[in-house]
Structure 1
Amino acid sequence: MLTTDTRQANWRRANPAKYNAHLAVQRAVKTGDLEKQTCKVCETKAVDAHHDQYNEPLKVRWLCRLHHTRLHHHGEDMFPIRRRDE
């Protein structure tokens, strides 16, 4: 159990499903069960995992920090992300 009172610890306590999904991705990448891809928009290699559904923790879209932030701030309608496999 987290006993610290940092911003990060407070976020983890307030968002257990999101935190568990993040941990699942970290574990899967480390064990090789999930492979990082390039950003779905600009193909940069430095990426974050974006979850559309936290109840599917290993189903992610790989986005660079810029495009991940834009997606969260502007949403799909204002910032559509085309998947390369479409």
Structure 2
Amino acid sequence: MNTKWCAMCEKELPLSEFYTHKDWGYQSRCKTCQASYRKQYNKTPQAKTSRRKTYEKLRDKGYFRDYNTRQYHDPIGHLKMVARLSIHKMKREGLIDQQPCLMCGKQYTEAHHPDYDQPLLIVWLCHSCHIDLHNNIKLKENG
């Protein structure tokens, strides 16, 4: 069974059109319907309350304080932030285009910086290849 019925648009779609759910496998709405549902929900007062509670919970745990310390005061964290922001700005201005994954060819990719001292030198990798690359780097450093 490689198809599922969407509870919202009532169409039979392939499983790739549904987000996974940890308890029952796949969500009841397809990705398109889920996106429109979230867009409508985010405009409601309940969504605003939920976002505020999440923010307060993270603030109380010191998450933002630790994040800012890493990003602004740690030299390596600062280099990473500058590299990330420069790529976002160039993408927004249309100076660079997102490329397929260098390792597997998937379309949805992330920018990987081999060297943060050269923020414009990037390699386009999909999320899973990017994670694998960083895991291999950590293994080499620790091993």
TM over 0.5: yes
What letter corresponds to residue 81 of structure 2 in structure 1? Y
Deviations 1:18-44 (A, max 9, x none): 100000000001111111101001111
Structure of higher CA gyration radius = 2
Unpaired runs of 5+ in structure 1?
79-86
Residue in 2 aligned with 1:23? 85
Query: Across the two proteins, how many residue pairs are aligned to each other?
Result: 73
Residue in 1 aligned with 2:131? 69
2:78 pairs with 1:11: no
RMSD of aligned alpha carbons = 1.9
Higher relative contact order (Cα pairs below 8 Å, separated by 6+ residues): 1
Q: Is the 8 A contact 1:34 1:58 kept in 2?
A: no
Unpaired runs of 5+ in structure 2?
1-61
Distance 1:36 1:53 in 2: 19
TM-score (norm 2): 0.46
**Among the aligned pairs, what percent are the same residue?**
26
Say which structure is richer in strand.
2
After TM superposition, give the deviation of residue 49 of structure 1 in Å.
0.4
Say which structure is richer in helix.
2
